[in-house]
Amino acid sequence: MRCEICNENNCLEPFVKNVTKCTNCESLYNMSIQHEEIPVIASINNNLKLSAQKKISKLIAQSYLVYLKKKIKVDFKNALDIGCGFGDFIEELNKIGVKASGIESDANTVKNAKDNVHYGSFDESYDSAIKYDLISINQALYYFEDSFAIIKKISSLLEINGIILIATVNTASSFRQKHKIWTQGCKICLGNKIWKNFDKFGLKCKDLTSYDDCSYIDFFLHKTNIMSNTKFLKNTLFYLSQMKKIIVVKEDGIDNFVILQKVR
């Protein structure tokens, strides 16, 4: 069989039910016609949990900006954040003088979000009179049916030399491979080999950095009964009090930061 992502033959193997792994490009994709719904963000019926989610979201957004500043010159005039959640990354950008706004498709999350978060969906038909210096799509690209079409659309909305920031799954992660992790609602998770070659869209990969989202790892270990409830709650308190970092750069991390630049 041919891989739908890299078009190579005889490189497919099962990963989990309905999900295929390509041994050539390391991409993962859901073969099922009926996909699971995207999980909601905001815990609207639990104020304590919602408060913790907002705090963690803020800390993660701050980590995104720290990473970006280390890799490129952050002098953007404007920015768009796709799948922006509570709008914390938007707020961090606004603090440093970037005119940023975002789109979020979960209505309850938008109700609990910060300023400049707009309810709506992004797709190939998205229209904008504005060209952006930065477009971010963090932990959201894998929910789309066609990642290439979405990236192509994002590229069309960028100024020349504009930047796409993507936080996404590292399909090569040994932790993900060991535990066969497939996030609910995912359609396609692109492999590292794919990230390094977006020339056909006029994009150049400026950076690919793997990292651990420690809060996600804890959530997974707790959900699968590998981590005790006591340790899970203790770690969560450490993250909220910033005694432990949530985002930790690691060579074999569970996620990737990707920076693409529009060169033509």
Mean pLDDT, residues 32-48: 74
pLDDT tier for residue 44 given thresholds of 50, 70 and 90: low
β-sheet with 78-82: strand ranges across: 117-119, 99-104, 78-82, 132-138, 158-169, 255-262, 203-213, 247-249
Mind listing the pLDDT tens digit for each residue in 185-244?
999 999 999 998 888 789 999 999 999 999 999 999 999 999 999 999 999 999 999 999
DSSP SS3 for 177: helix
Mean pLDDT, residues 42-71: 90
Scan for tokens 């078009």, then name that residue: 7
Distance CA 100, CA 94 (A): 6
Mind listing the pLDDT tens digit for each residue in 101-151?
999 999 999 999 999 999 999 999 999 999 999 999 999 999 999 999 999
Mean pLDDT, residues 59-74: 97
What is the model's pLDDT at position 189? 97
> In this model, does residue 67 exceed pLDDT 80?
yes
pTM of the predicted structure, to 2 decimals: 0.94
What is the model's pLDDT at position 65? 98
Mind listing the pLDDT tens digit for each residue in 152-197?
999 999 999 999 999 999 999 999 999 999 988 999 999 999 998 8
What is the model's pLDDT at position 136? 98
What is the model's pLDDT at position 184? 87
What share of the chain has pLDDT > 90, as a percent?
A: 88
> In this model, does residue 23 exceed pLDDT 90?
yes
Distance CA 192, CA 27 (A): 8
What is the model's pLDDT at position 217? 97
Contacts of 52 (CB under 8 A, 6+ apart): 236, 240
Q: Where are the alpha helices (DSSP H) in the chain?
A: 47-71, 88-95, 107-111, 147-156, 174-179, 192-195, 214-223, 229-240
What is the model's pLDDT at position 200? 79
Long-range contacts of 190-195 (CB under 8 A, 24+ apart): 190/5, 190/25, 190/27, 190/141, 190/147, 191/5, 191/6, 191/22, 191/25, 191/26, 191/27, 191/28, 192/26, 192/256, 193/6, 193/24, 193/25, 193/26, 194/5, 194/6, 194/25, 194/27, 195/256, 195/258
